[in-house]
Homo-oligomer: A and B are copies of this chain.
Amino acid sequence: MNTWLKVLIGVLSGAAVFTAGILIGHYGMYREPSWAKGLIQDVDESLLEQFMKEIDNKKIEENLRALTKKPHMATQEGDNDLVNLILERWKDPNSGLDEAKKDTYDVYLSFPDAEKPNNVAVVQTNGTTIFTTRIKEKNYTADQLDMDVVQPYAAYGPAGNPKGKLVFANQGKISDFEYLSQSINLTGTIAIVRYGGAGRGAKAINAAKFGVIGIIIYTDPKEMNDGKVSETETYPNSWYLPPSGVERGSFNGYFGDLLTPYYPAKEFTYRMDESEIRDLPPIATQPIGFEDAKTLICALSGADAPSDWQGGLGCTYKVGPGFMSSGLYSGSDVQVNVYNKAMVKKSDNVMGIIQGSVEPDRYVIYGNHRDSWVHGAIDPSSGTAVMLEISRVLGKMVKTGKWRPRRTIIFGSWGAEEFGLIGSVEYTEEYYSLLRERTVAYINVDISVFANATFSAGATPPVQNVIFTSAKQVTIPGDKSTSVYENWKKYSNRTSSVHGLIPRIGNLGAGSDYASFIHYLGITSMDLSYTYDKSKTSARIYPAYHTAYDTFDYAARFIDPGFTSHQTVGRTAGNILLRLADSLIIPFDVTDYTETLEAYVKTASESFGTVLSNKNISLAPINDALAKFKTAASNLKQKISELKNLNEIPLTVRRINDQLMLLERAFLDHRAFPEKYYYSHVIWASKTSSVPTFPGLADAFAKAEETKLDDDWKQVNKHVTIIVQAIESAAHILEVVAYHQLKQSKENGSASNAGTTLKPILEWFVIQSILVAILKQLQQGQQGPEPQFPEPQAGPAAPADADEQSEGEPPATGHAGRSAEEIAENNEAHQDR
């Protein structure tokens, strides 16, 4: 009897303690399911440190050497070799990515005829050619001797052999031809112009409007070479352009494959007629070096060119027409001989993918083009060398199981960029829907190092925040005490009304592969590089740009000896990439858009306000929309800041991330600029007006002011509507989403479901405890005192705690804060539509 009772008490006590344990284990100790851990993992700072350490300047140097072994113009053998090289890297079993593949497009390109080289000739009236420009650039380092060095030419310039009197037309701007035409009949002339001031193709289009029949373009040493002209002062003795160096380039009128706008250039894709291509040079066009340009310009007759037209060729520039009667070329014409041929060729993008672990359907894309004009050591291989080093370090982390990004990372090696951003545009066309829905950001690193002085970035406002965060974590080459950020701020800065003195981030034009990402798809984009000290050179760009001198030797000796600037760009860009891919909340600061929009509105009001109010066009609706945007952006930022330290439910994080991701998309209006291919972003579209405000408004205003037509003033009014709609759409996307929890009325128990399911178990536990106590009393009464097992300390404490929880209070764990957060959300007045 006694023993039986003891056993019973023992069993019940054991059961009670066991139950207490179960209850504490199950409810008292907060436990996420294993999958929840990944969901709330934020960016790992120590991993970032490790990543940056591993970015190796020597490896970048090796990459660049491999990438520049041969000229690799789009679809050339050298280009195809690099396709294979990159595929191999990205498929490497130890440092490759999850997947690598090539996407092939059939794209419309233009090449010179190797059999019939283009040239510019001086031809006497009797037909005798007395001077011909160089066919190839002069050899200095053997690189120039490679059979695959393409002869200088103007891609997409038409074939032809126009002949006429030479005139000098400065930069080939409309105003330049207007000036000349005051004193010269330009009809039938050949114009020589220098690079700069107007787009490549625009020079020929402008010229043709004035009757000019052929155009020659050269690089003036004043602009590119800080005046240096002799071989002793130029490459291979310095970074300056040798006298025979010629800048190649594309003379396309819009970007993407010219025959298939808006559709990927697949084999079967509908192609427009070549005659339908818009804005190509209508007249024969040929670029030459400044040595040859000097021969032509310094022999010109006619009036002196205006002083601001004068350049660095060492003579007084005259405008022509024709050559000095006292010189060798007296009476001669100039003939532009162009034999370019356009053709459709297969061009590859190489795509490499690291699949995301938590949000595989969210993409961070990092890209650069692969094709160059010649060896392209700086343009674009300096970027590719860095990209391959970033992908190697990340690939190794993935292959060794150390890391996997939260979001999917996609690397893109674009083809045929030099001809007009073709590879990246075809990619965004083919995957338009998918990329539009899933892409968080696009990072472009084309030329990674222009020069050694400072980091530089162009971007849309939301990424300023993450660029700065990363730039503060990286130090500059050779000085571990100075951050990229501080150094940058010294070279280029502005005073922000919100942030004070900060580095200046430029706007994104259409100069590289980010163009279709930002302008067509509305994907938050950035373009990163290391660049000049502008106080030390006035070069428009590094002097070997697009010439046969942009070689490994040039890069290693003059652009970035030691490749430490490359390394710095790799660390900074990689840091940004990792933050975008791994941060729990996408590190965009949407309030930074407010500053841009406010500046635009202020400028519009100051520049156009008076005239517009006379035309009964009010800018007030833009102000109203901006106020909505401002409120929505700062509320969302506030919400994010409240969220950061909490165990937020995964869908709340996703919801906010979607808002951040889609902000830029809301500024898209595919009908805003019907005359411009691709441009759809109401804030960043191209414009001809120089007024720094909404591009559609600025251009429409300029046109209406010029034409004075009612219809053109109506277009101004229409652009006010377009702007309001874009800003309001953006505000709607950012507005904090109102929501309620499933159960919120007091009578229905606590906000947490745990309360209701816990209750019966607790009741059972209390009943059992009482039963144990009764049995113990019974045992004591029968048997007298006996050595007692001490009550486990945690025993009574557990149900007491649990009981408190069952009163309807949220549990006192990190988990609790969330409920409070959700209640706060319920009280928010903001409506989600």
Contacts and interface: CB of A to CB of B under 8 A. Distances in A.
Interface of A: 3, 6-7, 10-11, 13-15, 17-27, 29-39, 41, 98-99, 101, 260, 262-264, 266, 268-270, 351, 353, 355-361, 363, 400-401, 403-404, 408, 410, 430-435, 437, 618, 620-621, 647, 649-651, 654-655, 658-659, 662, 665-666, 668, 670-671, 714, 717-718, 720-722, 724-725, 728-730, 732-733, 737-745, 747-748, 752-754, 787, 789-790, 792, 794-795, 815, 818, 831-833
A34 B23 CA distance: 16
A22 B26 CA distance: 7
A745 to B, nearest CB: 4
A358 B737 CA distance: 12
B437 A733 contact: yes
30 contacts: A11-B789, A18-B792, A20-B21, A21-B25, A22-B24, A22-B25, A23-B25, A30-B33, A31-B33, A34-B752, A35-B649, A36-B36, A38-B741, A38-B742, A99-B738, A263-B725, A270-B721, A351-B833, A355-B738, A355-B739, A357-B741, A360-B655, A363-B833, A408-B739, A431-B729, A433-B730, A434-B733, A434-B833, A437-B733, A650-B650
A697 B722 CA distance: 32
A147 to B, nearest CB: 37
A241 to B, nearest CB: 41
Of listed A15, A18, A266, A725, residue having the most chain B CB within 10 A: A18
Contact of A39 (B27, B437, B651): B651
A720 B268 CA distance: 9
B433 A740 contact: no
Contacts of A739: 355-357, 360, 408
A98 B740 contact: yes
A355 B826 CA distance: 10
Contacts of A21: 17-25
A662 B360 contact: no
Contacts of A729: 431-434
B15 A740 contact: no
A11 B738 CA distance: 52
Contact of A33 (B36, B651, B787): B36
A290 B721 CA distance: 46
Of listed A14, A431, A722, A792, residue having the most chain B CB within 10 A: A14
Nearest to A620: B268
B832 A360 contact: yes
B621 A658 contact: no
A745 B401 contact: yes
Contacts of A17: 14, 17-18, 21
A564 to B, nearest CB: 33
B31 A621 contact: no
Contact of A35 (B25, B351, B671, B818): B818
Contacts of A790: 7, 10-11, 14
Of listed A24, A434, A752, A787, residue having the most chain B CB within 10 A: A434
A742 B659 CA distance: 25
Nearest to A351: B833
A361 B753 contact: no
Contact of A3 (B433, B650, B717, B787): B787
Contacts of A730: 433
Contact of A34 (B7, B432, B668, B815): B815
A651 B654 contact: yes
Given A14-B792, A25-B21, A37 B649 contact: no
Contacts of A753: 34, 37-38
Given A17-B21, A33-B33, A36-B36, A361 B754 contact: no
Nearest to A662: B437
Given A18-B794, A430-B725, 8 more contacts: A14-B789, A22-B24, A24-B25, A37-B753, A353-B831, A434-B832, A435-B833, A437-B662
A635 B54 CA distance: 40
A733 B651 contact: no
A41 B794 CA distance: 34
Contact of A787 (B6, B733, B818, B831): B6
Contact of A355 (B30, B98, B269, B740): B740
Contacts of A794: 18
Contacts of A832: 355, 360-361, 408, 434
Given A22-B25, A739-B408, A433 B732 contact: yes
Contacts of A38: 741-742, 753
A678 to B, nearest CB: 11
A790 B668 CA distance: 73
A503 to B, nearest CB: 31
A29 to B, nearest CB: 5
A7 B832 CA distance: 63
Contacts of A724: 266, 268-269
Contact of A655 (B20, B25, B361, B410): B361
A831 B431 CA distance: 13
A270 B671 CA distance: 14
A658 to B, nearest CB: 7
Contacts of A22: 21-22, 24-25, 29
A792 B33 CA distance: 27
A359 B404 contact: no
A431 B618 contact: no
A783 to B, nearest CB: 12
